[in-house]
Amino acid sequence: MSGFLLRRVLGAVVTLFAISVIVYVVFYVTPGNVAQITCGPRCSPAQVQQVAEQLHLNDPLYARYWDFLQGLVAGQDYSTGTSVQHCSAPCLGLSYQSDQQVTALILAKLPVSLSLVFGAMVLWLILGVGTGVLSAWRRGRLTERLLTGVTLAGVATPVFVIGLVLMIVVCGQLQLLPFPQYVAFSDDPEQWAWNLLLPWLSLALIEAAAFARLTRAAMLETLAEDHIRTFRAYGVGERSVIGRHALRGALAPVIALNANNFGGAVGGAVLTETLFGLPGIGQELVHAVNVVDLPVVVGMVLVIGFFVVVANAVADVLYAVADRRVVLA
Amino acid sequence: MPAPGASGARQFWRRLRTQRAALVAAVVVALLVLVALAAPLLTAIEGQDPTTYHPSLVDSARGGVPIGSFGGVSAEHWLGVEPQTGRDLFARLVYGARVSLGVALAATVVQIAIGVVVGVAAALGSRWVDQVLSRFTDVIVAMPLMIMALALLAIVPSSFPRPVLVALVIGLIAWGNIAKIVRAQTLTLKGLDYVAAARLSGWGTWRIARRELLPGIAAPVITYAALLVPSNITVEAALSFLGVGVKPPTPSWGQMLTAADVWYQAAPQYLLLPAGALFVTVLALTVLGDGVRTALDPRAASRLRIGTGRKREAKA
C-alpha cells in the first residue's frame, strides 16, 4: 500500500511537471505581441521595447522556464523598476498588469472557487447517486421513467443555460433569493450558503445527471450478478440488497467518474463564477486571459491542473478501498 | 466484437432501428444538419441575413428594446430581432447551427485523428515508444479542456478564422481518452490469431494496422466519438458565451446567450431561442450517441433496455 502511494505521488509530481512544461511553452511561444498589449495601444516602439526588456520577454525560453521553476521551488526576487519585491517559495511570478504576486492573487480567490466546487460536489453526489439508486430500485415503474427523462434533460443542458434560467426565474421573477454575492464563510456561514445556493445548483445539476445515469447502470449490472441472487435467496431484505450490496457495486465507477469529471466541473465553475459574478479563480482567469496577463494565466492553469491531478490520485486510492477486487500495484 | 465490414454495418443499422428514442433523435439531428446546410437558402426565403443592423427596429430611447410585440416578430423578421442591433434572430439562429455543428464535428474529427494515430502507435511501437506516448497521453488527459481552451483561444491573434481555431483548439487538447481507448483495443486485437496470421504471412506493420486493426477499433471509437460531438457543442457554446470562442459578427448560440440575461423581460426569445436550440441539439445528439453505443455493444442483445452511463468529458 505505501509503495503504491509513493509511486502514485511520484507519478502525480511528474505529471504536474510535464503539464507545467507544456503549458509554459505553449503559452509563451504562441504568437501575439505580449509587450504591446501589456504596455497599451498608445505605447511607442521604444516603450514597448522597454516593457519587453522588463518582463524578460527577449530572453530565451528555457532560461525563463528555469527562472520560473526556481521561483516555484525556492522563491525569487523581482525588481519592479524602483523597488525589489521578494516572492517566496511557491512563486508563480508577477502579474504583468498589476505587479501583484500571482500566488497571492490565486490564494485570495481560491476560497471562493473551492467553496463553489466542493459544495457543488456534495450536492451532485447526493442528488446523482440518490436519483440513480431510486431509479434502479423502481425499475420499470413510472418513477424510473420520469427520473430517466429528467436526468437525460440534465445531461443535455449546458451549465450556463441552467445557471441563466435559474438566476432569471429564482432571483428575477420569483425573487426568492437575492442575486448571489459572495460572502466569506468566516464572515457569515449562513449568508455564505444562501448566496452560493444557486451557483451550487447550476453546477451540480448537470453533473448529478451524469452520476444518476452511471449509478443506475452500475446498480442494475450488480443486481443481475449471482451474489445478489444468493443474498435474496437467503432472505436478505430488498432494502438491504439495494442500499448495501448493489450500491457497493456502483461505488467504484462513481469514484472513477468523479475524478474523471473533476476537470470538467472546474471548467463549469469558471462559467458559473462568470455568470453569477463570483470573485473566484475562474472569473480572474477570464479577466487575465482578456488582457493576456500570461503569468496569471499560466499560474491559474497550473493550480487547476494541480487540483485535477490530486483528485485523480485520491480517486485511485478510494477506488481500491471501494472495490476490494482492485489490487493496488 | 461485431465483425467489421458490410454485415457489421447492416447489423448496426438493424440494432439502431429497434431503438425508438435513438431513431427520433436521428431524425432531429438530420433536420438540424439540414437547417445548417440550408442556412443561406432559409434566410434568403425570409429575405434577411444574420449580420445587417436594423437600427430602425429597436427603440434607442429605451436602451435598444426591439419595437413591436414579442420582441419584434413580424412577417419580415420571423423570430424577431436582436436587442440593440436589430439583427434578424432567425438568420442568426440558423447560421448559429452551422457554427455549432461545424465546430463540434471538426473538433471531433481532429480528436479522432490524433487519438487513433497516438493510440495505434503506442500499441504497436516499441516498449519505449509506448511508454513515452502513454505518459504523454496521461498528461493530456489531466489538462482541463475548458481552462486550456479558454486560455489558448485568448492569446492567439484574432486574425485567424475563429470557428476553425476553436475546433482546432478543442481537438488538440481533448484527444487523450480516444488515444487510451484505441491503445487498449489495439493491444487486445494484436494478440488475436488473425493478426498473428497476417504477421506470419509477411505483412508489414503499416499494412496490418490499416487492413486488420483499424476495422476492429472502429466500433469503440465511433461509440466514444458519438458522445464527443454533443460534448464539443457544449464546449464551443461555453467558450463563445465567455467571449473567447466564435466572435461577432459570426453568430453562435453560446455567444447569443452572453447578453441574453439583460433582455429576458423585453425580448424573452433572445434568451429562449439559442438556449432551446442548444438543449435540443445536445439532447438529440446524446440520445443518438446512446443508441449508437447500444447498437455497437456486443452484449447489446441482452441489455438493450439498459443505458450504461459512460463518462462524458469536459462538460461545460
Mutation target vs B (from A151, A160, A203, A258; most B CBs, 10 A cutoff): A160
The total number of residues written for chain A in this structure: 329
Q: Which residues of B touch A301 (CB under 8 A)?
A: 143, 147-148, 151
Nearest CA in chain B to A274: B242
Residue contact A271–B241, C-beta within 8 A: yes
The rounded distance, in Å, linking the Cα atoms of A293 and B139 is: 24
Mean pLDDT of A149-172: 85
Alpha-helical runs (H) found in B160-192: 162-173, 176-190
Of A157, A263, A286, the CB nearest to B279: A157
Residue contact B230–A292, C-beta within 8 A: no
The rounded distance, in Å, linking the Cα atoms of A54 and A47 is: 10
Which of A83-87, A221-225, B132-136, B152-156 shows the lowest per-residue confidence on average (mean pLDDT)?
A83-87
Cβ-Cβ contacts under 8 Å for B254 (sequence gap 6 or more)? A158, A160, B236, B237, B238, B239, B240, B241, B245, B246, B274, B278
The rounded distance, in Å, linking the Cα atoms of A24 and B102 is: 30
pLDDT surpassing 70 at residue A194: yes
Over residues A28-58, the pLDDT tens digits come to 776 666 676 677 667 777 777 777 777 777 7
The rounded distance, in Å, linking the Cα atoms of A27 and B152 is: 7
Q: What CA–CA distances, in Å, run from A210 to A260, B145, B291?
A: 12, 18, 16
Q: Give the distance from residue A210's alpha carbon to the nearest chain B alpha carbon, in angstroms.
A: 7
- Helices B145-155 and B214-241 pack at an angle, to 10 degrees, of 60
Task: Give the confidence band of A86 by pLDDT, cuts at 50, 70, 90.
Answer: confident
- Residue A173's pLDDT is 76
- Residue B262's pLDDT is 76
Which of A3-12, A81-90, A151-160 reaches the highest mean pLDDT?
A151-160
Q: Which residues of A touch B154 (CB under 8 A)?
A: 289-290, 292, 297
Cβ(B42)–Cβ(B35) under 8 Å?
Answer: yes
Do the bridges between strand A84-87 and strand B58-59 make them parallel or antiparallel, or are there none, so unpaired?
unpaired
Mean pLDDT of B19-42: 90
Residue contact A160–B241, C-beta within 8 A: yes
- Among B residues 13-72, those touching chain A with beta carbons less than 8 Å apart: none
Q: For residue A186, with 0-12 CB atoms within 10 Å meaning exposed, 13-18 middle and 19 or more buried, which class applies?
A: exposed
Counting one residue from chain A and one from chain B, the pairs whose CB atoms sit within 8 A come to 187
Cβ-Cβ contacts under 8 Å for B205 (sequence gap 6 or more)? B124
Mean pLDDT of A193-203: 87
Task: Give the confidence band of A1 by pLDDT, cuts at 50, 70, 90.
Answer: low
- Residue B279's pLDDT is 92
- Residue A54's pLDDT is 73
Percent of chain B topping pLDDT 70: 89
In degrees and rounded to multiples of 5, residue B58 shows phi and psi of: -120, 150
Which of A138-142, A325-329, B104-108, B163-167 shows the lowest per-residue confidence on average (mean pLDDT)?
A325-329
- Residue A32's pLDDT is 60
Task: Give the confidence band of A80 by pLDDT, cuts at 50, 70, 90.
Answer: low
Closest CA to B313 of B257, B229, B254: B229
pLDDT surpassing 50 at residue B306: no
In degrees and rounded to multiples of 5, residue B269 shows phi and psi of: -70, -20
Other beta carbons within 10 angstroms of residue A83's beta carbon come to: 8
Residue contact A15–B138, C-beta within 8 A: yes
- Residue B79's pLDDT is 76
Mean pLDDT of B167-182: 92
Residue contact B157–A27, C-beta within 8 A: no
Asked if B5 reaches chain A (Cβ–Cβ under 8 Å), the answer is no
Q: Which residues of B touch A207 (CB under 8 A)?
A: 315
Other beta carbons within 10 angstroms of residue B160's beta carbon come to: 11
Mean pLDDT of A81-99: 74
- Residue A81's pLDDT is 62
Residue contact B316–A26, C-beta within 8 A: no
Residue contact B147–A301, C-beta within 8 A: yes
Q: Give the distance from residue A87's alpha carbon to the nearest chain B alpha carbon, in angstroms.
A: 24
Asked if B259 reaches chain A (Cβ–Cβ under 8 Å), the answer is no
pLDDT surpassing 70 at residue A299: yes
Residue contact A292–B155, C-beta within 8 A: yes
pLDDT surpassing 90 at residue A244: no
Asked if B269 reaches chain A (Cβ–Cβ under 8 Å), the answer is no
Asked if B192 reaches chain A (Cβ–Cβ under 8 Å), the answer is no
- Inter-residue long-range contacts of B294-299, CB under 8 Å, 24+ positions, other chains counted: B294/B15, B294/B19, B294/B22, B295/B12, B295/B13, B295/B15, B295/B16, B295/B19, B295/B22, B296/B2, B296/B12, B296/B15, B296/B219, B296/B220, B296/B222, B296/B223, B297/B223, B298/B1, B298/B2
Query: How high does pLDDT run on average in chain A?
Result: 81
Of B151, B156, B264, the CB nearest to A297: B151
Residue contact A160–B316, C-beta within 8 A: yes
Cβ(A246)–Cβ(A274) under 8 Å?
Answer: no
Over residues B35-80, the pLDDT tens digits come to 999 888 888 887 777 877 777 777 777 777 777 776 767 777 777 7
Nearest CA in chain A to B230: A156
Cβ(A183)–Cβ(B292) under 8 Å?
Answer: no
Mean pLDDT of A182-211: 85
Closest CA to B54 of B31, B20, B38, B77: B77
Beta strands in chain A, from DSSP E residues, in sequence order: 76-79, 84-87
- Residue B300's pLDDT is 53
- Residue A167's pLDDT is 85
Name beta bridge partners: A85.
Answer: A78
Q: For residue A163, with 0-12 CB atoms within 10 Å meaning exposed, 13-18 middle and 19 or more buried, which class applies?
A: buried
- Residue B305's pLDDT is 45
Q: Give the distance from residue A77's alpha carbon to the nearest chain B alpha carbon, in angstroms.
A: 27
pLDDT surpassing 90 at residue B113: yes
Residue contact B309–A289, C-beta within 8 A: no
- Residue B312's pLDDT is 39
CA B230 to chain centre: 5
- Residue A169's pLDDT is 85
Residue contact B316–A159, C-beta within 8 A: yes
Task: Give the confidence band of B298 by pLDDT, cuts at 50, 70, 90.
Answer: low
Q: Give the distance from residue A282's alpha carbon to the nearest chain B alpha carbon, in angstroms.
A: 9
- Helices B214-241 and A159-166 pack at an angle, to 10 degrees, of 30
Task: Give the confidence band of B86 by pLDDT, cuts at 50, 70, 90.
Answer: confident
Residue contact A289–B234, C-beta within 8 A: no
Q: Which residues of B touch A286 (CB under 8 A)?
A: 150, 242-244
Q: Give the distance from residue A244's alpha carbon to the nearest chain B alpha carbon, in angstroms.
A: 21
What DSSP element (H or E) covers B314?
none
Other beta carbons within 10 angstroms of residue B44's beta carbon come to: 12
- Residue B95's pLDDT is 92
**Longest CA pairwise span in chain A (Å):** 86
The rounded distance, in Å, linking the Cα atoms of B235 and B251 is: 16
The rounded distance, in Å, linking the Cα atoms of B302 and A286 is: 48
- Residue A120's pLDDT is 92
Percent of chain A topping pLDDT 70: 92
Q: Which residues of B touch A268 (CB under 8 A)?
A: 146, 315-316
pLDDT surpassing 50 at residue A329: no
Cis amide linkage into residue B249, ω under 30° from 0: yes
Q: Give the distance from residue B284's alpha carbon to the nearest chain A alpha carbon, in angstroms.
A: 8
- Residue B179's pLDDT is 94
Please give the DSSP secondary-structure letter assigned to residue A326.
Answer: P
Cell of B260: 441574453
The rounded distance, in Å, linking the Cα atoms of B52 and B111 is: 35
Q: Give this prediction's pTM.
A: 0.85
Cell of B205: 506493420
Which of A290-294, A324-328, B132-136 shows the lowest per-residue confidence on average (mean pLDDT)?
A324-328
Of A164, A206, A220, the CB nearest to B315: A206
- Inter-residue long-range contacts of A13-16, CB under 8 Å, 24+ positions, other chains counted: A14/B135, A15/A309, A15/B138, A15/B139, A15/B142, A16/A302, A16/A305, A16/A306, A16/A309
Over residues B123-139, the pLDDT tens digits come to 988 899 998 998 899 88
Mean pLDDT of A4-24: 84
The rounded distance, in Å, linking the Cα atoms of B222 and B213 is: 14
Hey, what amino acid is at B280?
A: V
Q: What CA–CA distances, in Å, run from B86 to A54, B51, B82, B185, B203?
A: 46, 10, 5, 53, 64
Which of A93-102, A318-327, B145-154 reaches the highest mean pLDDT?
B145-154
Residue contact B142–A19, C-beta within 8 A: yes
Mean pLDDT of B217-235: 90
Q: Which residues of A touch B312 (CB under 8 A)?
A: 155, 210, 261, 264
